[in-house]
Amino acid sequence: MNNFAALKSEVFAKQKVLAKIYAQAGTRSLFDYVRGWAVSSPSENTRVFFNQAQKLLLRVYPAELVDDVLRQNGQSPLVSTIDHHGILNHPFFINSNLIYSQRATIKYLLCLSTAGVSLNNSSWPGCLLFSRPDGRMERFSFFRDKIKTQTVLAVKGFNSEDVALFESHIKAAGFLSKDNKQRLLGLTQEIFSDPGLFEFSDFSEQAAHASSALWQKVFPSAPKLLYLPLEELVNELIVNEILPRNGHILHKLFFTTAGWDSIEKYFHGSLGAFTDSHKGSFLFWGISANLKRVHLHRFGSKIVDHGLYEFGLPDNSLIEALSKNVLYPTSLVCFLVLLYYGITCLGGFNQVNWLTDIKEKFIDLLAEWGERELAARVLAVPTENFAEGSLAFGVNQQGQIYKPSVLDLFLKNDPEIYEKYRQLASLVTVGESIDAQLPEIYRVITPAKDRDSNLLGITENDILNSSSLADKIKSVLGD
C-alpha cells in the first residue's frame, strides 16, 4: 500500500487536472459522474463547426443518421477526442466509449478520433486484437508490416486481397478453437468483405465505417458510435472558414508573423504543442512521400524541416499544402479550433490536462490581443470531462479479470453485456476507476529512465484485489 500511495502521488504530481477530478468526484459512481458532465451552450460557432463535420460524415454514413447526429450535437455539443482513428479494437477505446455512453439521453457517440498516429501505434489502428488465455494480446492485421510506420490519415484503403490475408492468419491461429475461427471468419465476411467497404476513398473512411459496425455488433442496444478524424475536420475548417477571413483571430494566429510570435510566446513547451527539439511540430505536421509524419519547426517567417519542406508567409505555399492535405494540424491547432468553436471535449488522462492548459493560455493570449469577449466564451468551454477511467473489464474462464478487445467481447456472445456494463457503471466509483488505470498512466507519462522499479511492480490486478473493485466486477460480469 505504501508503494501504491507513492504511485498515486507520482502520477497526480504530473496530472494536476486528473488529481482535481479524483479529489472532487472520486466517491461518485461513474454513472452519476458522466451524467453530471458540464457541456457548453450551442452557438453560431458550433453550428458552423458541425456544418463542416456534416460534409465529412456524409462520406461514410447515411444522410438520415448524420442529420440526427447533428441535431443532437446542435443541442449539446459534446464529442470525444480520446480515440485513435482506425479500426475500433483496443480495450482503451472500448472503455472510453462505454463511459461516454452512460451520458443520459444521447443516441450517438461522436468521436473526433486522432488520425495522426502511425499504423504501429500501441493501439494498432489497422488490426483486430484478441486476448490469449495467458493474457497476451494477439493482433491480426489488414496491412503488411512494410507500411506500419505510415500515418493513418494518409494510408490507402485495404482491398479484398488484404482481407484474404487477414483471414489466413485467423485460420492459422493455433490458440483459437475451431468454433471461434468460424465465428471470426463470419464476422470478417459480414463487415470487412462488404464490397461497399472497398469503394471508400481511403483507410480512414473504411475504418470509420467498420468501427461503427463493430461497435453495433457487440453492443446493439448502446448508442451508435461514429468516427470522424479530428485533423481532417479541423483542416476543413481552416481551409473553408479560417483562411478566407483575414480578420478571424485564428487566421491571424496561424497565418501571420505576429500570430506565430504569439503562438511561440504562449505555447512553446506546452503538452500537445512543440519544443525546440523534435518533440511536437510547429502548428502543422508534414507528410512525406512514403506517408510518414514529418516534424516541422519555425524558422523566421517559414515552417521548415531538414530539406523536405519549406512553407512561408505570406506566399500561398502553406495554403496550397493544407488544401492538398500535404500538411495536417497538430494537437495544439486542433484544440485551439475546438475551443474557438465552443466544442466540449471528453478527454483521457493526458487530454484533460492538455485541453485545460491550452485553454488557460489561449485566454491570456486573447486578452493580450484585445479579444475579451471571445476570451470569455472560451472560458465557458468545459475541458475537464474525463472518460478514460476503467469500466470495460472482462472475467475469463479462470476467474481472472482482464481488459477485453472487440473480438473478445464478440466471441463472448453475451446479449446482456451492455446492460451489465451499465450496471457496473453504477457500482464503480470514479476514484476506483482511476486507481485501476494508475500503473498504465505511470508508464505513459514517465520516461523509461526515470521509472521506479517498485512502482513498476504494481499491477492493475494488485489494485483490483486490494479493493472492493474486483468483487464488484465479478458480481456483475462473472459467469
pLDDT digits (tens, 9 = 90+) for 105-145: 899 999 999 999 999 999 999 999 998 887 789 999 999 98
pLDDT digits (tens, 9 = 90+) for 204-230: 999 999 999 999 999 999 999 999 999
Q: Residue range 309-316: average pLDDT?
A: 75
Helix (H), strand (E) counts: the chain: 23, 15
What is the average pLDDT value for the chain, to the nearest integer? 93
Q: Contact at 8 Å (CB) between 28 and 430? A: yes
Any idea what the Cα angle at residue 416 is, between residues 414 and 420, rounded to 5°?
Answer: 110
Q: Residue range 291-316: average pLDDT?
A: 82
Q: What is the pLDDT of residue 227?
A: 98
Any idea what the Cα angle at residue 317 is, between residues 313 and 322, rounded to 5°?
Answer: 105
Dihedrals phi, psi of 399, to nearest 5 degrees:
80, 10
Based on C-alpha coordinates, what's the Rg of the chain? 22
Q: What is the pLDDT of residue 88?
A: 97
Coil, strand or helix: which one is 303? strand
**Ordered alpha helix ranges (H), 15-62:** 16-25, 30-35, 44-57
Q: Which residue has the higher pLDDT, 141 or 271?
A: 141
Q: How far apart are CA 195 and CA 191, in angstroms?
A: 9
Q: What is the pLDDT of residue 272?
A: 81
Q: How far apart are CA 97 and CA 222, in angstroms?
A: 10
Q: What percent of the chain has pLDDT over 90?
A: 83
pLDDT at 307 over 70: no
Total residues found in the chain within this entry: 479
Q: What is the pLDDT of residue 479?
A: 67
Q: Residue range 309-332: average pLDDT?
A: 83
pLDDT at 63 over 70: yes
Q: Which residue has the higher pLDDT, 314 or 466?
A: 466
Nearest to 81 by CA among 281, 266, 233: 233
Residue 205 CB-half CA count within 13 A: 16
pLDDT digits (tens, 9 = 90+) for 352-388: 999 999 999 999 999 999 999 999 999 999 999 999 9
Q: How far apart are CA 97 and CA 114, in angstroms?
A: 15
pLDDT digits (tens, 9 = 90+) for 381-419: 999 999 998 999 999 888 889 999 999 999 999 999 999
Q: How far apart are CA 169 and CA 140, in angstroms?
A: 7
Q: How far apart are CA 275 and CA 272, in angstroms?
A: 10
Please name the residue that has the C-alpha cell 468454433.
179
Query: Chain centroid to CA 129: how far?
Result: 17
Q: What is the pLDDT of residue 320?
A: 84
pLDDT digits (tens, 9 = 90+) for 140-185: 999 998 999 999 999 999 999 999 999 999 999 999 999 999 999 9
Q: Which residue type is seen at 256?
A: T
